A and B are shown apart, each in its own frame.
Chain A
Amino acid sequence: MTAPTTAPTTAPTTLPAVDGAKALRVGAIAGVTAIFIAAIGMVEVFDDHSVIDPLLSLGYLSIAWIPLLFGYRATHQLVLEGMEPPKTGAHNLISGALTGAFGGAMLGGFALLVDTVDVREILINVTPRLIEILAFGQSAAVGALILIALGGAIGALGGAFHLMSNHWRRAVSSAFLWILIVGFLELVLGNVFKGFGVGFLNDVVYSESRGITTGAAVVIGVAVVAMHFGFAGSAAAVRERFLSLPEAKRRSTGFIVAVTLMAVGMVVPSVFGPFLNEVLATVGLFMLMALGLNIVVGYAGLLDLGYVAFFAVGAYTMAVFSSPLTPGDFTPEMAFYSALPFVIIMATIAGIIVGTPVIRMRGDYLAIVTLAFGEIARLVFQADWLKGMFGGAQGILRIGWSEAVGKSTIVTMFGYVLVAVGGVVGLIGFLRWRSARADDDASSAKKAGIWIGLGTTAAVIGLLFPDFASWTVTGIDSEAVFRLVLVFVALAAFISWRLQDSRIGRAWMAMREDEQVAETMGINVVTAKLLAFIIGAILAALGGALFAVKIGTIFPSSFKIVQSIIILVVVIVGGMGSLRGVAVGALVLIGVLGGPTQPGMLREFQEFKLLIYGVLLVYMMLQRPEGLIPSARRSRELHGDELKQDVWLDKDGEEEV
């Protein structure tokens, strides 16, 4: 698919001939991909999970996308501005079919081969069951023919995408996509249906083997296509309108949406089962860390590959300060919130320790050094040298242990929450009052007085009745853990959001764009970098602390390099520097695939997770480096029409603000 397009376009009136060599070349890549996926066992493992019952199982889907995509790519041509778009016609279909059939033939040949020769010594996943699946329950030879025919058909379908108008193409692709999404969300939607008393929908939409029923698939497909034509362009119009709002308005709209989502996130877990809540809690933890990493990588442009170090520091600090079973004599046995300030202090120190030596480094060198720091952190916690403190490879047990409950717990006393909130409100009121006094503005001063009064009252009530209400979250109660994590995510998002458009945020941005120039514009890059590292470290450490109490036990092996990489993938796939992007990235990636050790919604993906993360990362880097939901800044870069400078030049002088 990377081969240069050789299709001749000399005579515009006649259709270009079918480029057989190219079709075969693309087909060969498709075949190799399909064989690879079959041979690593994906097809077999996924076979039990149906997507559209009884037509398509996830196993077949894991290879069926190949002829579709490659059939499309076989005649795909990049159309640049000013170039005549290539003619479409039968050659698209034929090339697609040829590609698909050749790929199918290779897979069929592979099935035939492994049917006659036993290769299980080498390819351990090539089981008889796999051969049976690939042969559609027939003999291998018949199966191969079926594969060729199916490959050809699907490939032709892929090629047919060229014949559709843009509008249809989009409608059909999103129909496919929605069928898949609804299929995959079986667990979520099933719980939601049940929770809202429409459990019968479950039986209508979903079959016993977890997929959606054929009827439901047809309904969804038709509905999506109909929607596309019914509401043609209205989504784009809404988006356009949103983007054309002034910056401040856009921000406040975004804030309202975020608050609404947060409220939904607080309510929704009640209808979910324990497994789904577990997944959600994992998503929340990774979202928290991804938001932290986003500050370091997305805002300040410092590629930190050892982010897990801060996560580990947070977890171990929480463990040492809260566990009754610390290996050393230092056993304060604090509650979660009492230990939290120490977590923040240790994270700050860790941020400075990692940040200081890498101040003068850029790009690749920074990445390599931070990568090493990530490993160093793990080895320090694992070392026998510090076994008396961190327990070496045995780790630390009973983190945040509550004797009364007999579990790892986090008790939130709303009295203290009141004190904290009251303190902040009072402080803000005081500052307003001071500035109002300086401006001689009596009415503002009066308003500020109300703030002070409310804040003080809340703080006093909180102090008088510190435990008038409390919220006990045990580590194994994933529903409550998720809600708690969500509060921290909100905090992280708030911090990111406020810093983005401040003096500090602009300094980071400038540093990311051109460090040297930023320095000559008066930005102290040492402070700016350290600040980014410290804030990132604190957010990761909060994630670590929550993780430690949630699990109750930590080992050095929980803090492997892959953790850093996955958080980074979340940030990159979501969209660097974009809060929405990072949130969506965490939700989609961690939610569907799961964390490094934690399961996601599709449990079958467990063993192939790293492969998929890797493929996704490479694909995103090549095709969409700005991420799924790029920040407004980056999406503006992609607005082609703004690149036409002459348009602006012509307006020179006329347009005045």
Chain B
Amino acid sequence: MALLEITGLVKQFGGLQALGGVDFHIDEGEIVSVIGPNGAGKTTFFNVISGMFPPDEGEIIFDDRDVAGLTPDQITRRGIARTFQNVRLFPNMTILENVMVAQHSRTSKGVFAALFQTPGFRKEEALIRERARDVLGFFGTRLTGYRFDQPAFTLSYANRRRLEIARAMGTEPRLLLLDEPTAGMNPSETAELTGLITKLRDERGFTIVVIEHEMKVVRDVSDRVVVLDHGVQIAQGTYDEVSTNEDVIEAYLGRPAESR
């Protein structure tokens, strides 16, 4: 049974068809890469799944329920979390707070509990803190080496990317959507992150969809690769199948001149 099953997903911006009927599925515990040339609709695909844009048509069945058209916070509550292509942390909040805030939908204490600091409130705060530390601990010394109450903007670029993943993990999702996690990283950082993505699945049990341009990363992490072009899926399969697929090569490099 697929964890996420998408059929006929359509999203139009005015006359531009960003997604033209995408079918997609991912099983529990799978890592699927979504690749495609620039403007293929990869990020829109993520935006629609995570509820930032409602789809025009199509079904998004997550965990047996249709989540199409729900608001982003409802979708996060159901168990889908994402990162952003251009890192979007809460820069003035501390590292710890960035992860703590992600647990908003997993916790419930309101104004009155906070005002009177009821035992339940304190327990929940302690739990939030502990979970946040646990999530940050996943990145080894990378994030714990810093004082947790440094504002996030003091982090280096690579660490911001890591913190963004940590924040997504903080929402306790079942499905993680990673939007170009290695963009802008140097080769050694990229290699480290590649290992990390696999570790996310093996140790934490996340199902992962990753948008990636770096083919080396795609090859190393993916169980399956889905190729989008002009808002439609043009190929899918293992890395080797896809990388030799005529349509994919054409989408990336264009058609050879003599075959015209």
Contacts and interface: CB of A to CB of B under 8 A. Distances in A.
Same complex for A and B? Answer: yes
Interface string B82-93: 101000101111
A636 B156 CA distance: 17
B116 interface: yes
Contact of A654 (B91, B93, B145, B154): B145
A653 B145 contact: yes
B100 interface: yes
B101 A509 contact: yes
Contact of B109 (A247, A503, A516, A519): A503
Interface string B74-110: 0111000110100010111100010011111111011
Interface string A636-657: 1100001101001101111111
Contact of A637 (B115, B153, B156): B153
B120 A521 contact: no
Contacts of A636: 151
B107 A503 contact: yes
A509 B115 contact: no
A432 B113 CA distance: 12
Q: Is the interface of A mostly helix, strand, loop or mixed?
A: helix
- Place the interface of chain A in its size category: 35 or more
Interface string A508-534: 011001101111111111000001000
Interface stretch (A231-239, A332-340, A494-502): A494-502
Nearest to B146: A648
A509 B93 contact: yes
Nearest to B78: A522
Interface string B196-208: 0000000000000
A506 B101 contact: yes
A446 interface: no
Contacts of A643: 154
Contacts of B216: none
Contacts of A504: 110-111, 114
A522 B105 contact: yes
Contacts of A247: 149
B51 A498 contact: no
A557 interface: no
A656 B107 contact: no
Interface in A429-455: 431-432, 434-436
Given A503-B104, A656-B141, A514 B155 contact: no
Given A432-B119, A522-B171, A645-B155, A498 B97 contact: no
Contact of B76 (A521, A531, A645, A649): A521
Interface residues of B, number: 59
Contact of B88 (A431, A494, A499, A514): A514
A499 B115 contact: yes
A87 B82 CA distance: 54
A536 to B, nearest CB: 13
Given A507-B101, A652-B142, A427 B116 contact: yes
Interface stretch (B15-23, B35-43, B121-129, B232-240): B121-129
Contact of A507 (B72, B82, B104): B104
Contact of B120 (A435, A520, A524, A525): A435
Contacts of A220: none
Contact of B93 (A502, A506, A524, A652): A506
A349 to B, nearest CB: 17
Interface string B124-159: 110010000000000001101111111101111000
Nearest to A507: B104
Contacts of A531: 111
B120 to A, nearest CB: 7
Nearest to A494: B115
A431 B170 CA distance: 28
In this complex, the member of A431, A520, A524, A634 whose beta carbon has the largest number of chain B beta carbons within 10 angstroms is A520
A424 interface: yes
B182 interface: no
Contacts, number: 148
B259 to A, nearest CB: 44
A448 to B, nearest CB: 9
Interface string B145-188: 11111110111100000000001001100000000000000000
A651 B141 CA distance: 11
A535 interface: yes
B156 A648 contact: yes
B25 to A, nearest CB: 22
Contacts of A499: 111, 114-115
In this complex, the member of A495, A503, A645 whose beta carbon has the largest number of chain B beta carbons within 10 angstroms is A503
B33 interface: no
A633 interface: yes
Contact of B128 (A432, A503, A513): A503
Nearest to A634: B92
B50 interface: yes
Contacts of A645: 154-156
Contacts of B124: 503
Contacts of A216: none
Given A510-B90, A513-B92, A535-B111, A521 B119 contact: no
Nearest to B71: A519
B109 A502 contact: yes
A657 B140 CA distance: 11
B120 A431 contact: yes
A519 B77 CA distance: 11
Interface of A: 247, 424, 427-428, 431-432, 434-436, 494-495, 498-499, 502-507, 509-510, 513-514, 516-525, 531, 535, 633-634, 636-637, 642-643, 645, 648-649, 651-657
20 contacts: A424-B116, A502-B114, A504-B111, A506-B93, A506-B101, A506-B104, A509-B101, A510-B93, A518-B101, A521-B81, A521-B104, A522-B76, A522-B77, A522-B104, A531-B111, A637-B151, A648-B154, A648-B156, A656-B144, A657-B148
Given A521-B105, A656-B144, 20 more contacts: A431-B116, A502-B114, A502-B121, A503-B107, A503-B109, A505-B114, A506-B104, A507-B104, A514-B90, A516-B88, A520-B72, A521-B76, A521-B170, A522-B73, A522-B105, A633-B92, A648-B154, A652-B145, A655-B145, A656-B145
